Amino acid sequence: MCKLRFVFYLLMVSVIFTGCGKLSQTEGEITELAIIPQPETMTLSAGNFTVKKRTVICYNSKELLPLANFLNSKISGALGFKLKTATSSRNGINLNLRKEWDESLGDEGYKLTVLYNNIVVEANSANGIFYGIQTLLQMLPPQIKSKTIQPNIKWNIPCAEITDKPRFAWRGLMLDVSRHFFTKEEVKAYIDQLAEYKMNVFHWHLTDDQGWRIEIKSLPKLTEKGAWRARRVGDWWSREPRRKGEPVTYGGFYTHNDIKEVVQYAKERFVEIVPEIDVPGHSMATIVAYPEISCTHTVKDINVGNKFYTIDENSLCVGNDTTFEYLDKIFTEIAELFPSKYIHIGGDECYKGFWKKCPKCKKRMHDEHLKNTKELQSYFVKRLEKILQSKNKKLIGWDEILEGGLAPDATVMSWRGMKNGIKAAKAGHNVIMTPTSNCYLDLYQGEPSVEPQTYSMCRLSNSYNFEPVPEGVDKKLILGGQGNLWSEAVPNFWHAQYMTWPRGWALAEVFWSTKENKNWDDFIHRVETHFIRADYAGINYARSMYNAIITPVYSNESGFKIKLSTEIKDLDIYYTFDNTNPYNSSPRYENPLSVPLNATRIKIITYRGDKRVGKQITLRIDELKKRLPKRS
């Protein structure tokens, strides 16, 4: 009878939920889970599994030993001890490959069961086990991410049952290492961070006008000359070009051994690295190294962030067969270094003005019966696709590769909105959606006056509300999506993290979780828990979601008014017009504000209850007027 009462009690306190779950334990404590991305289903029950020195990590296949060691390495620093591993099943943490395929889990799904004396992570494949481990790590106290021993912590994991799988196969982040070079160790850290949120693609933008970052042994000048430029700071596109005789000391590149090490590191985290060699445009570093494959042979210096587009050549000569001979050498080595079936060839923003004047390009157009330079670029892409196919690789390009006719088997990465992705999908091509308005992580993520200098806007809510599958498109052709971090205004890794998180967490949920399980308010609550985890891990992130949004609007009464709002709920906005700093004793915003006579600036702050959460924003009234939209 006692056993039946206990079972009934467990059924009564068990809660099925998604996202943050709360459950009153027998002692009265509250257990809260904040998992990103949102699991498909999750049932939370009374009790905890406690990780102790005697806990054993078990695995039922030798294939899973590296994952047992991975889990050990992730927790041992904070625990102060390593757990034993064993192949036999026992009370502890069990990593189990299924003997029979479970269609409901697919290739990357997992089932996680936590009981008070036992944990089982079960999947069809090792990568499913890996994602179950990532969820398990998020169920531990946030101190588990600390790099130092955390004494006096109860390492409790709430009893739960989770079944989970991804919505999309392609879940990625792109890092641009051309505009600013990031070290091998920083790249590995970025891969580790995206893998923690079940992302599985790292798009490595290795070449551009500002630097060539990968060793090509058959063409050594690519790194001897192409990897280095004059050192500059200041706003991008406003910089002074390299002066005559000025040293070129800023930059760097990855050797073959570096690449192999990073590829192996990513493989251990089930992350596919897709390399990008950006051609035929964005190739100034290439033609500085080898001017014979340009149209004019006139460019001597790698761009430092000064204006050059349409002025200095940065496109390869398509009329020159030597260009394709060099590209064959480059992609031969790229194909050998990267096991991914994909190679990204860029294809974006190619200025074609120099082609129109180039005798070799004009001859190519005549010989190949090409009507215009768009078709000339299409000829280039199709010829490059054949080079990649000879190396058993598939071509991906930005959506400009649609212009002039798309290569037969190309995959399109749609960045200029969704329309070109829709066009490619309707033509039967695979598509990766990455529109600027939702996925460009180099954009402002909050009020520009208190953010580092960049351009345009992509708030956390813009990323979270992204839907990769447009209406009327075969969803099977939408492989997924990714966030892109271009690094013109990202000079170091600390700032790269600031620009990536938490928007990267939002995109992770977009690409993994079902639409039905997404909830903005719940996501924000989980984000705040992950801020704490990031603090313990020493990972930078932006708190821009707490800052006020300032919008000037036209008013018939006073010319214009100031509308204030917030991206998230439960924040109060306080303001002043008298040049004093606002506090929660200042006027509280309720309705659009008229500007008092002779006021020169408005100062704004946000609070949650009695706690200040946002940055103080100070805007001059005359500058605010410039934000008013132009009247038609």
Cα(596)–Cα(578) distance, integer angstroms: 9
Please state, in angstroms and rounded to a whole number, the distance separating the CA atoms of residues 55 and 502.
Answer: 33
| Nearest of 357, 448, 346, 437 to residue 396 by alpha carbon | 346
Torsion of CA 141, 146, 149, 152, to 10 degrees: -30
SS3 track for 509-521: HHHHCCHHHCCHH
Give the integer Cα–Cα distance in Å for 208 and 215: 14
8 Å CB contact between 486 and 442: yes
Q: In this structure, what DSSP letter does residue 477 have?
A: G
Of the residues 192, 349, 375, 572, only one is catalytic, namely 349
CB 414 within 8 A of CB 481: no
The token pair that represents 143 in the structure block: 């101190």
Distance CA(507)–CA(468), nearest Å, equals 10
Residue 304 CA to residue 242 CA, distance in Å, equals: 7
Within 8 A by CB and 6+ apart from 255, the residues are 215
Element (H, E) at 268: none
321 annotated active-site: no
CB contact at 8 A, 196 and 144:
no
Has 344 been annotated as catalytic? no
CA-based end-to-end distance of the chain = 78
* H or E element that contains 466: none
Q: Distance (Å, rounded) from C-alpha 547 to C-alpha 67?
A: 40
Q: What phi and psi values does residue 438 have, to the nearest 5 degrees?
A: -120, -25
Catalytic residue among 180, 203, 205, 282: 282
Q: What is the distance between the alpha carbons of residues 433 and 413, in angstroms, rounded to a whole number?
A: 6
HSE-up (13 A, CA, CB side) for residue 255: 3
Which is nearest to 221 in space by CA: 288, 271, 170? 288
Of residues 208, 313, 447, 567, which has the active-site annotation? 208
Measured CA distances, 539 to 163, 492, 493, 532, 542 (Å): 29, 13, 10, 10, 10
Burial of 561 (0-12, 13-18, 19+ CB in 10 A): middle
Q: Is 208 a catalytic residue?
A: yes
**Burial call 3-38: b when 16+ CB within 10 Å, e when fewer:** eeeeeeeeeeeeeebbbbbebeeeeeeebebbbbbb
Q: Tell me which residues are annotated as active site.
A: 208, 282, 349
